[in-house]
Structure 1
Amino acid sequence: MTAAWQPPPTTAARWMVIGEWRAHPARLVIGALAIAVGVALGFAVHLVNQTALASFDRAVRTVNGAADLQIRAATPAGFAESLYPRIARTPGVAAASPVVEIVAFASASTTGTANPAPMTLLGLDVLRAAAVTPSLIGLPPDRSSPFDPDAIFLSRAALTAAKKNLGDRITLTAANTSRSFTIAGILANTGNDQAIAVIDIADAQWRFAQLGKLQRIDIRLAQGMNRAAAMAAINARLPADARLVSPENAQASSDSLSRAYRVNLEMLAMVALLTGGFLVYSAQSLSVARRRPQFALLRVLGLRPGALTVQIVLEGAIVGLIGAGLGIAIGYGLADLAVTLLGGDLGGGLLGRGEVHLDFSAPAALVFAMIGIAVAIASSLVPALEAARAKPAIALKNAGDTTDPRHRPAGWPGLVLLGLGGLAALGPPIAELPLLGYAAMALLLAGGVAAMPFLARALLAPLQNLSLPAPLDLALKRLWGAPQQAAVALCGIVASTSLMVAMAVMVSSFRGSVDDWLVQILPSDVYLHIEGAETAGLDPTAQARLAATPGVAKIRFLRQIPLRLAADRAPVILTGQPDPAASIPLIGRTIPVPAGEVAAYISEPMVWLYNLKPGDRMNLPLGGKSRPVFIAGVWRDYARQFGAITLADRDFTALTGDRTRSEAAIDTAPGTDPAKLITALRQRLGPVIGAQAMFAEPRQMRAVALSIFDRSFAITYALEAIAIVIGLVGVAATFSAQTLARTREFGMLRHIGVRRGQIMTMLAAEGALLGIIGVIAGLALGVLMSQVLIHVVNPQSFHWTMDTRIPWPLFAGLAAALTAAAAGTAALAGRRAVSADAIRAVREDW
């Protein structure tokens, strides 16, 4: 008699996998979605950031032209034009082009809108620029002379912003002066990313009060000239208020504008992917535990342990592949939506508002897909190894926990990981990025999850000696006797909850600190800001007119100018204001200023970026000289990420020679209507400056600032919401799977007289207990991770500090939702598990 054909073990294993997914498709979907969410977020953030950076770099190159090197003024006031001939005669310099560069505005009447259109106004010597930056030269369509003093050439972006056509008249305001020009042509080679206007350099100097000044010199080196030697020769000729900038310096400076913001978003997305990996681990562990007798049967039929391990890992890889593919598609859609709603910097406000065209990046898609697949494989490896190590004879009759309940779960692996996370948090930044900080968060997350069996036992221990009703006692005994399965159930809860808690605490702390800071720096009733006042502001006469306005009780004038301290860093902001020690939010100790020295107060980022502290001295490149100042203290500033220096008003004027001011803080007389006062002040400014003046009350400024904050953290809020959803879905999937896997157990309980209602109560109690343990662990771990974000990641990324604030109402709601979800899901899943099928399932054991 011929024996019936039996499939080989590998074929049977393949059938088993397919059958598992057919029977429980939700488990496959949830695992794939968990990976898809992390991949989608990471890919979307990367795609938007790279596209926005490319657009921003094009805009920078558009303004800078194609020069080999540039000499840039340390401040918008520029440097003496006498530097130009010295540079032009420097050995190795083939050509040099002098440039006047100022911020200009097309008047509101010109644009037909309420707000003037800003653009960069360049004054060029056409003959010199032709040899260095020909892309910045405009030619009239009729080939008429480009030297016409009435002619102006606009980029397409400027033409669109000004709502003008060729041949139209346009009025530009710059340096407190308005002048009209005829649009003679388009800058055809500047692209659509930057609003630029070009006129003759002599007209720029004469018409906009820049006589004897230049803001930059573009340089083309002689062919074959050693760049390092040329830069050394040029640097030797530079005054203190000029900086030599290479294309690499410009790239580094522009990249630094948003580098920390971009990296932080991508790291948060990767943490979300790691959380998804824990959910995959949870799902795979439950699936393996439920199928342990089936795997044991395959082992008896001849399947080797290694082949079984590969089989389970392949399951995870397929889940990862599906999730990664879905994540790439969702990520591209999210990126397109983010660009539309938030702009190219995801609401950060760091890269301007240039037009951004989203480009798909196949290499980036492949990298993020591989990361997603790798996370899924790694998440399946531990369950696979456990299944391969199981004894077939025992596993054939045991689908429960593999750990002997008499053995106390080890807590040292979790403690080791937590300790390593703490050590990583103490590390310095790497390449000015908090890479060790994020490593610390990953280690803390892994340590918290690894410690769950031990922690669950520790939290359940006080309940062991209580006299409880039978259903509650059964629930407690089940969790005590199956710590590994309890830990698997807790894994997804703890991972998603801790991530959400960490981000919520960080954002709440940051927002609260910003709000407190705004209250400190905005004590007056009305504030005035002159837009585009880098090269000129309110002169003493205008200041006197404003101070004499009826309704003004007191007015303080301030001046802010960008100051370039290093060629490869973004400029800092130099501020002059009356009595800074009494008006800025100082932190830490202040140092008495030695007699005869100038006191300077630096913001927190200056401490990190320039390695400065109170008591140090630094030199400021002002007025063609290097001016020494004494650092008397540090102040908190959330508005300027790249640093600010504050001087007393009289010292600012003495060092810069600038008596104009660009801002004012106004205290109103009792009974004064702020709106009427603003109208009177605007009239006293005159039509030119009045068009550039922006007035606001403190409540409006706070509302705008917090709105910008919320916009900047929109992606973080989205991550929080996703973490909550992942946590709730993970809870539902975990308890549903565990409950269905215990059908025989429930059948045995029914056989010995336990009623269905009591089993349902037991399941709800199990779910509630696990939910409470998960919430406690998730909250504790999340608060710990938030301290890494607050005290490590943020200072190393953005160079400012904040005070911790715990959003207790949010956490109370989260705890209630997770506990209810755990209890409710377990009870709902139990309705099927305690049916008549459960009683029949017991027969399989006989």
Structure 2
Amino acid sequence: MSPVLPRIFLASLKRRRLASALSLLAIALGVALGLAVQLIHDAALGEFGRGIRQLAGGADLQVVGPRTGFDEQLYFQLAQRAEVAAASPVVEVDARMPGREGTLRILGIDVFRLAGIQPELMPSAEGNDTFATLRPDAVFLSAAARQELHESAGLMLQAGTTLQRLRVAGDIPGVAGQVLGVMDIAAAQERFGMLGRLTRIDLRLADGSNRAQATRALQPLLPAGVVLRPADAAAGEADLLSRAYRVNLTMLAAIALLTGGFLVFSSQFLSVVRRRREFAFLLALGMTRRSLMRGLLTEGAVLGLVGGAAGVGLAYGLAALAFRFVGADLGAGYFSGLRPALVFAPLASAAYLLLGVFAGVAGTWAPAAASLRIPVARGLHAGEGASEALVARARPGVAAGFLLAAFLLCQLPPWQGVPAGGYLAIACLLVTAVMLVPVASHGLTALLQPRRSPVLRLATARLAAAPGQAVVASAGVVASVALAVAMAIMVSSFRSSVDHWLDAVLPADLYVRASLGSGSGFLTPGDVARIAAVPGVASTDAVRADSVRLDAQRPAVTLIARAVHSGWGLPLVAGSLAYEGSGQPAWISEAVADLHQLSVGQPLELPLAGEPQRFMVAGIWRDYARQNGSVVIDRQCYIRLTGDERVNDLALRLAPAIEPGQVAAAIRERFDADTLEIAVPAKIRRITLAIFDRTFFITYLMEAVAVLIGLFGVATTFAALSTARRSEFGMLRHLGMTRADIARLLATEGAWTAGVGVVTGILAGLAVAWVLIEVVNRQSFHWSMDFHLPYLPVGAFGTGLVALAAAVAVLAGRRAMSHSAVRAVREDW
């Protein structure tokens, strides 16, 4: 190609400033959203993994048990094994801080064992107190903990329903970026009710022992429910937990980028329309059609490169803002408390930059191919229109093939925990919807046959004669509307299902909590009796929560011990509460059923108090609070098997005409200040739904971006069509139509073509929503939900989008309408 030709092609981008800017913006937004999600989660996982490595130190393996711990005699057995060079016992407690949000992670350590395995955890005492690390009231805080808690002298922590005052005796110099405290293991066991219990043992293997051999030799020594795993396994579990959320957001960004590619297509189609004479002239001067196509593809590549580069820069800005205002988990709760630093990721940045280039080139391909079909002689004639540049053909057979492919893809199981089949099915549904736009346009145009209004007759005649313009103007709208409607239905269905779920799990009048299941607060039988004796309390239902491992390769699930038949009830989707079979019944959540391939009537082995206990699955229930899954058993059975009578939560049913506030005040008077959380169901519901809305806030933003890009596509497409129709507008002016009439004509065409896209998009959105609910959501999070269509919001959204499209069409055609009637038609002379 001649050196002059690139300047000719790239100069057209400067002439089309608005269209080029919109294309750049669309690609930049798609790239920025996808890369920002990648950067945020990579940084969060990196920081989480770094923290795991710091805490593990030089450990090769970790012995991990339930939250309530395991017998410390196991430590002495393992420490004497030939495979083990050093062993470090740990008691880990999430200590509740009365009057503060969240908990403080406390590690009880044996300071004499740290040097050989975990030197990073070695505390540094203030002053010259040599034995400070052994004092029962001393706690050492990391720099991040000091900064967040603003404590330099002492801490008040909760153990059971009593307050423990600890003295801040120094720092943990080797720990950076983690909010935690360290204290002597014996003091931690005594103060937090863990006497004789450990939660973890870190092992450094002897020379000549590898992990696989040591695991095979040591595993038989472990009691049921205690597993031996690599020290970095927790980081892998966190990655597994957050993967579905991360992939879902990345797919939304990919759809936004796809819609941006369509906007490039509209912009380049505008270029082909305006430059038909220029292309014909270049071909007449000897330029080959292949060189012409290379020049147009270069324009698209430049748009993609500049837009991708801008998107990469914007992504780092968005990630920095997310770290500051939203958090490293984007509101999903996977990495609460982490403060990761934003680092440059060259490979990810380069990959998304190339995606931007690909979107630019892909969007240019069809207009570039259309330019090859320009006859030189006809192209030199000024009056030739652009209706031949794009021909819309209905291909119902191909569309049916994509629809069948979508159905088959929905039957595929997840690939490494990712619902790849579901996402491919969504892509097939979007392709099907776009391919059916000509059919929808023809069908809807045939339904409307205006007889009186000449503007409406002209608009419908134009759409019927040139269905290609409906494809161009509607396809981007179809993609963005389908995405927005599908996500609106999915989120509405999820929120409605959570609302009904809360009705089932919150039937009591008042709820009392000592702390979360992993926290240090708990109620003893004496505490429960004191609460039950409060005037106005008719009955109590107690709950104990712990963690159990059904599979050493998967994260622990939550064990919930409570009354089932006379208690809160369960939102069952299979089975029954009235179990009449043999054996001890257990009710598992949908996540447990999916991940462990269990169904009603099958046996389930639960490790309780170090012994495997056989249960039978009596039912499967919805649990939106625990992604890892949960198992419910009767509390009396739990006490009989474990001897643990502690309680995490109490549900109180009050006597008639008793105010919950009076009972709550009376309970607080019987306990230390702020040691109990007391709430009515309405408050719990409000907090739960607020967390839900915060979690989906990023999803709403990404939907808005996709819809905005779709409107950009309508604007550029109508700018192209209006430019090509200057002669038509001039002739209509000669026939007596005013500029206002032509504006109404454009508004009608814009509204009608957008209406085609909206109707098709809504239908496609219903299908995509079904895939999201029944395939993607079920395979990602293992939650079922009831289908709920928000009629009014979807109707208002579609109506508003049609109105905006009409306004955008008029604005895009203002330049073509501004020419005088004589100048507009003289080009045909």
TM range (shorter): over 0.9
TM-score (norm 2): 0.94
Q: How many residue pairs were aligned?
A: 823
* 1:631 maps to amino acid: V
> What SS does structure 2 have at the residue aligned with 1:426?
coil
Amino acid at match of 2:144: A
Tell whether the 8 Å contact from 2:293 to 2:371 is kept in structure 1 after alignment: yes
Residue 820 (str. 1) matches residue 808 (str. 2)? no
Q: Which moved more, 1:392-401 or 1:128-137?
A: 392-401
Which of 16, 26, 33 pairs up with 2:25? 33
Structure 1 residues 645, 836: closer, same or farther in 2, change over 3 A? closer
Asked if the contact 1:9–1:301 (Cα under 8 Å) also holds between the matched residues in 2, the reply is no
Of 119, 141, 156, the residue aligned with 1:154 is 141
1:233 alignment partner in structure 2: 217
Distance in 1, matches of 2:6 and 2:116, equals 73
**What SS does the corresponding residue of 1:565 show, helix, strand or coil?**
coil
Identify the residue that residue 599 of structure 1 maps to in structure 2. 585
User: Structure 1 residue 512 and structure 2 residue 496: aligned?
Assistant: yes
Cα separation, partners in 2 of 1:403 and 1:419, compared to 1, 3 Å: farther
Query: Which deviations, in whole Å up to 9, do the C-alpha atoms of 1:119-153 show, x marking residues without a partner?
Result: 22222222223222222222324371343444432
Deviation, structure 1 residue 546? 0.9
Cα displacement (A) at 1:192: 2.7
- Maintained 8 Å contact 1:43/1:365: yes
Instruction: Answer whether contact 1:621 1:627 (CA < 8 A) is retained.
Output: yes
The correspondence for 1:192, drawn from 139, 158, 177, is 177
Aligned residue for 1:692, secondary structure, equals coil
SS in 2 for 1:236: helix
- Aligned match of 2:61: 69
Greater shift in the superposed pair: 124-133 or 372-381: 124-133
Q: Distance in 2 between matches of 1:429 and 1:128?
A: 44
1:58–1:193: 8 Å Cα contact kept in structure 2?
A: no
Contact 2:43 2:340 in 1 (8 A): yes
Aligned positions of 1:568-647 closer than 5 A: 568-579=553-564, 583-590=569-576, 593=579, 595-647=581-633
Question: Is the Cα–Cα contact under 8 Å of residues 250 and 568 in structure 1 kept in the other structure?
Answer: no
* Residue 747 (str. 1) matches residue 730 (str. 2): yes
> Aligned partners of 1:164, 1:754: CA distance in 2, in Å?
78
Change in CA separation of 1:52 and 1:838 when aligned onto 2, cut-off 3 Å? farther
Determine whether 1:129 maps to 2:120.
Answer: no
Q: Hey, what's the Cα distance between the residues in 2 that align with 1:62 and 1:311?
A: 55
With over 3 angstroms needed to count, the CA separation of the structure-2 counterparts of 1:97 and 1:831, relative to structure 1, is closer
Q: Which residue of 2 aligns with 1:440?
A: 425
Q: Residue 665 of structure 2 aligns with which residue? A: 679
Q: What is the match of residue 845 of structure 1?
A: 828
Coordinate RMSD, CA, aligned = 2.4
Structure 1 Cα separation of the partners of residues 296 and 3 of structure 2 = 12
1:93 aligns with 2:84: yes
Q: 1:763 aligns with which of 746, 754, 771?
A: 746
Q: CA deviation at 1:772?
A: 1.5
Tell me: CA distance 1:463–1:227, structure 2 relative to 1, closer, same or farther (3 Å): same
What is the aligned partner in structure 2 of residue 54 from structure 1? 46
Distance 2:291 2:501 in 1: 61
Mapped to 2, the partners of 1:649 and 1:180 lie a distance apart of: 32
Q: In the TM superposition, what is the alpha-carbon distance from 1:463 to its structure 2 partner?
A: 3.7
CA contact (8 A) 1:735 1:826 kept: yes
In the alignment, what sits opposite 1:421?
406
- Is the contact between residue 504 and residue 720 of structure 1 (CA under 8 Å) also seen in structure 2? no
The aligned residue for residue 79 of structure 1 is 70
> For residue 8 of structure 2, what is the aligned residue in structure 1?
15
* 2:280–2:377 CA contact under 8 A, matched in 1: yes
Describe how 1:685-834 pairs up with structure 2 within 5 A: 686-687=671-672, 691-752=674-735, 754-834=737-817
Q: Match of 1:5? A: none
**AA aligned opposite 1:487:** V
- Residue equivalent to 1:402: 388
On the 8 A contact 1:740/1:829 being kept in 2, the answer is: no
- Aligned CA distance change for structure 1 residues 419 and 282 (closer, same or farther; 3 Å): farther
1:568 to partner: Cα distance: 3.7
CA 1:22–1:134: 2 relative to 1, 3 Å: closer
The answer to whether the Cα contact below 8 Å between 2:145 and 2:178 also exists between their aligned partners in 1 is no
1:541 is aligned to 526
CA distance in structure 1 between the aligned counterparts of 2:557 and 2:143, rounded to whole angstroms: 31
SS at match of 2:124: coil
Contact residue 508 and residue 805 of structure 1 kept, 8 A: yes
SS of the aligned residue for 1:695 comes to strand
Query: 1:649-688 to 2 correspondence within 5 Å?
Result: 649-684=635-670, 686-687=671-672
Question: Structure 1 622/765 Cα, relative in aligned 2: closer, same or farther at 3 Å?
Answer: same
Contact 2:390 2:468 (8 Å CA) reproduced: no
Change (3 A) 1:9 1:155: closer
The alpha-carbon distance between structure 1 residues 403 and 285, as it changes in their structure 2 partners (threshold 3 A), is closer
CA shift at 1:248, angstroms?
A: 4.3
Q: Which stretch of structure 1 is more off in the superposition, 440-449 or 526-535?
A: 526-535
Deviates more, 1:52-61 or 1:611-620: 52-61
Helix, strand or coil for the counterpart of 1:691?
coil
Contact 1:731 1:821 in 2 (8 A): no
Q: Is the 1:103–1:532 Cα contact (8 Å) retained in structure 2?
A: no
Instruction: Look up the SS of the partner of 2:827 in the other structure.
Output: helix
After TM superposition, which residue ranges in structure 1, 4 or more long, deviate above 6 angstroms? none
1:9, 1:298 within 8 Å by CA — same for their partners in 2?
no
Change in Cα spacing, 1:820 to 1:121, as seen in structure 2 (3 Å) is closer
Report the residue type matching 1:827 in the other structure.
V
Q: How far has the Cα of 1:305 moved from its partner?
A: 1.6
Contact in 1 for aligned 2:549/2:556 (Cα 8 Å): yes
- Which secondary structure state, in structure 2, belongs to the residue aligned with residue 637 of structure 1? coil
Distance 2:215 2:621 in 1: 36
Write the distance in 2 (CA, Å) between the matches of 1:836 and 1:151.
84
Does 2:305 match 1:312? no
Q: How many Å apart are 1:384 and its aligned residue?
A: 1.0
Identity %: 40
Distance 1:829 1:180, change over 3 A: closer
